[in-house]
Structure formats: structure tokens, C-alpha cells
Amino acid sequence: MLQLTVLNAHDRNISSIVGLETARNLNTLLLYNNHLTNFSLASGFTNLVFLDLSGNSLTNVSLPGGMTNLFSLVIVNNPLANLALPSDLTRLEELDLNGNQLAKFTLPSGLTGLGVLDLGFNSLTNFSLPAD
């Protein structure tokens, strides 16, 4: 699976990503409109540029540090109430968290390239921006 660079697996009734850790050279991972409730990505996905987890049933998302090439992270329309992002997402330009159940969100420092941040249709009562 090391040759695989694009995985488009949207609308496939996927409920687990077991085995995905062998596809460490992915640059695009599209898992929207599935049945995922938990998404925990193993370390080593340093080539990942685009990740879309929209339209699942996610209550937990865990991303490792070292994903310094990630350009776009889209996690829309999930029941996600908490999300902590690693601070080394230095190339992240788009962060779309629209339509979740986030009550608080802290944008980590180090996201110096962020140009689009969508937190609409959440339950935010506390939102923090880094000082830098």
C-alpha cells in the first residue's frame, strides 16, 4: 500500500480505518459520508495534503504531530464536541469544522498559513486565537 497516494472512499459505509496505517504515502484521503465514529490517524502520514472526514458520526478525531504538509482539513457535519489539533500544521490553509457540536475551540499557534477557518453552525461559547 506504499504506492497508494489517493484514497477516495466516500459513501462506502466504512466504520473503521484499521489497516490504513500501511498507506503512509497518501496525499489525499477522502472518507466523507461514511459511518466512522472514531478517527485516530497513526503517525507517519507526512505526505497527507487533503483530509475530508465530513458527514460521518465522529465523536473523536485524533491527528498526530508531523503532518506538516497538510493543506486542507475538512470535518463538517459530525457530532464532534472536542477537537485538539497539533501545533505543527504549518502548511494548513483551510480548516473547515462547520456543523459540528464544538462548544469550545482553541486554534493552536503555528498555523501561520491559515487563510480559511469555518466554525459556523457549532455551539461555540469559547473560542481562542493564538497570540502569534
**pLDDT one-digit tens code per residue, 37-64:** 999 999 999 999 999 999 999 999 999 9
| CA distance linking residue 63 with residue 45, whole number of Å | 10
Structure confidence by residue, pLDDT tens digits, 71-99: 999 999 999 999 999 999 999 999 999 99
pLDDT at 132: 63
Split into its structural domains, the chain has a count of 1
Q: In which domain, by residue range, is 88 found?
A: 1-132
Q: In what order do the strands lie in the sheet with 28-30?
A: 6-8, 28-30, 50-52, 72-74, 94-96, 116-118
CATH number at residue 23: 3.80.10.10
pLDDT at 2: 87
Give the residue-averaged pLDDT of 98-107: 96
Share of the chain above pLDDT 70, in %: 99
pTM (predicted TM-score): 0.96
Average pLDDT over the chain, rounded to whole? 96
